[in-house]
Chains A and B, each alone.
Chain A
Amino acid sequence: MAALLMLSEAEKAFIVHGVQDGVRGDGRGCEDFRVVELETEVVSNTSGSARLRLGQTDVLVGVKAELGSPRLDCPDEGYLEFFVDCTTSSANATPEFEGRGGEDLSLEISSALQRSFAHAGCLDLRSLCILPRQQCWVLYVDVLLLEYGGNVFDAASIAVKAALFNTRIPTVHVSEDEEGVREIELSDDPYDCVRLEVARVPCIVTLSKIGQRHVVDASLEETCCCRASLMVSVTAAGAITGLRKAGPGSLHPDSVCHMIETGKRVGVSLHKALDAVLQHEESQGTKREKVGFLG
């Protein structure tokens, strides 16, 4: 995806030397994120949604809860499905995503999310089960990339956590008649709903190696100077739930270890900030004015 922006060698040298001295183009330190704008409940037809703007990157996430049959190998659990769309509707993100251009990126993002969410205690999937082997909740998480400004992986994962926090699944009552036929009844009270426990949901922190140092949340210009990056999924408790090297370059084993360390540190503080924002938004309740795309 480096071809999105072309930089001359001199510009690259400028950025690399800057990072070497701990200075970045927009005045951030090496472990700082750009300003994040986050809003939940932006789309009303979903069970949960969030929109996130990280610098120039804009991501919209919708979570829809639907009834489906459980997977055969885990009959007493619901499941999550990730769909990432960088192709059709996000051709406005950048023209290169038109047609099949964004397919690889969408695949990479969805598999990165899938991988980070694969560990056992991430979400309580058993609470999504209604009738073992018959009915369960399926959470369809749809990520829509609206604008591409670098570091989409982190943006997508933060937005997914916010959307899951915002998700409300209607309560289900199972009744059984005399013949033993079970019926599922959905509560129609909008306040009678189940919330998901997101304390162990991970966020991705991408560390990009530029010159001899690594930076967090690389902008588009910095992405051009970066040969290899490491995506680390971190939970709020500091456990690492996924790791993936990206980019055409290679890394020394020692710097891999350093990057894991930094990733954990940054991830934990990211979660702390995110939780505070989500709690604050929650506490405002209906008084909160929804800005949506008018902001």
Chain B
Amino acid sequence: MPFDSRRLQGPEDSQSPLLFCAPAAPRALLDGRGKRADGRAPDELRASFARAGLLSQAKGSAYVEAKNTKVLCAVHGPREVLRREDFSMSGRLYCDFRVAPFAGARRCEARPPGGDEREAALAVVQALEAAVRLHRYPKAQIDVFVTVLEDDGGALGAAVTAASLALADAGIEMYDLAVGCSARQAGAVLLLDPSAAEEYGRYGEPARGPSVQAEQHGGLTVALLPSLDQVSGLVCQGEWDEQVLRQAVREAVDGAQRLYPLLQQCLLRAVRRSVRAPEAPPAGPPAGPPGDAGSDAGIPPGESEP
């Protein structure tokens, strides 16, 4: 690994102590009563929290939490594209996907985003492109910055959800929200919204044991536009039977549908907050469009304190 002069120099190479643990005994994903390790039913989502408009500097922002998975997203723009070469009548979405070095069980290097992160960024862009009315922003670029603060499974799905909330919060025109949801299958078991321990091939999961290999394994993430009933993003890996995969897609779509009301409420709250924020709003249309929701506290520019 070459020396990076832009960072403080640490040890050249270090390994997580978790690598030297004795491998955990293979554990069933479901216990005798059909419950998971955290007490959920197989088709139960994690308790989620979503909030839009928490950053003041970004045009739109959102924070999504599903138990231990925490994702933050900020939207800037639309701004003019400086490079003249690619003229297009429709706008462009740019996504920067970063996983914090402390997000996973093992530390990931803080360096310019590598293959995995860039691939996740592409997946987020593809999931959002169908939702955003890009033809309303000719020659413009909308920047979406996703930061995964903690990854306990389902980070890509949460990133899509957070990004579409942040876009809506920024007042970008959209057809619908894109809601992400993931599923995991092992043999006959299908788990919705898996945690990191349940997710395929993650550390701590005995994914390579002989008994586990005999079964079919796989993970899947779906991005859904709930009110249009359209799948805008779909990524899956592992080994699936065709029938099971179709079933899993339906389950994940159903999971995303169930998440939708939460996001609607969250946006509604963000708008209410931004409307209430300036004391005693003047008569007429109360405050600006939801696009101004980014400034949570304080007065919109141009209005002076009475």
A interface residues (Cβ-Cβ under 8 A, vs B): 3, 72-74, 104, 107-108, 110-111, 115, 118-121, 228, 230, 235, 238-253, 256-257, 260-261, 264
Contacts and interface: CB of A to CB of B under 8 A. Distances in A.
B122 A108 contact: yes
Nearest to A82: B115
A107 B242 contact: no
Contact of A108 (B119, B241, B253): B119
Contact of A250 (B218, B232, B235): B232
A246 B232 CA distance: 9
B5 interface: no
Contacts of B246: 257, 260-261
Given A72-B19, A120-B239, A241-B239, A107 B118 contact: yes
Interface string B219-239: 010001100111111111111
B100 interface: no
Q: Name the 5 nearest CB pairs between A and B, nearest first.
A: A250-B230, A250-B130, A243-B236, A248-B129, A245-B234
Nearest to B176: A250
B115 A260 contact: no
Contacts of B216: 239
A59 B235 CA distance: 25
5 contacts: A111-B115, A242-B236, A244-B234, A253-B224, A256-B249
Contacts of B245: 240, 243, 260
Interface string B110-131: 0000011011001100100111
B213 interface: yes
Contact of A261 (B122, B224, B242): B242
A264 B217 CA distance: 17
A120 B231 contact: no
A239 B237 CA distance: 12
B242 A240 contact: yes
Contacts of A74: 208
Given A120-B213, A121-B213, A260-B245, A243 B232 contact: no
Contacts of A253: 224, 229, 231, 249-250, 253
A245 B116 CA distance: 17
Given A118-B201, A119-B239, A240-B242, 13 more contacts: A115-B237, A118-B238, A121-B213, A121-B239, A243-B234, A243-B245, A244-B235, A244-B236, A245-B126, A246-B126, A250-B228, A250-B230, A250-B231
Main secondary structure of the interface of B (DSSP, over half): mixed
B207 A243 contact: no
Interface of B: 15, 19, 86, 115-116, 118-119, 122-123, 126, 129-131, 201, 203, 207-208, 213, 216-218, 220, 224-225, 228-242, 245-246, 249-250, 253
B232 A239 contact: no
- With a 10 A CB-CB cut-off, give which of B15, B129, B236, B253 has the most chain A CB atoms: B236
- With a 10 A CB-CB cut-off, give which of A107, A228, A253, A257 has the most chain B CB atoms: A253
Nearest to A119: B239
A250 B237 CA distance: 20
B237 A72 contact: no
B85 to A, nearest CB: 10
B15 A239 contact: no
Given A111-B115, A118-B201, A251-B231, A240 B240 contact: yes
A246 B233 CA distance: 8
Given A240-B239, A242-B236, A247 B126 contact: yes
A256 B252 CA distance: 13
A41 to B, nearest CB: 30
Contacts of B218: 119
B119 A107 contact: yes
Nearest to A116: B237
Nearest to A76: B208
Nearest to A267: B242
Given A239-B239, A250-B228, A230 B118 contact: no
Contacts of A252: 229-231
A104 B122 contact: yes
A243 B213 contact: no
A239 B234 contact: no
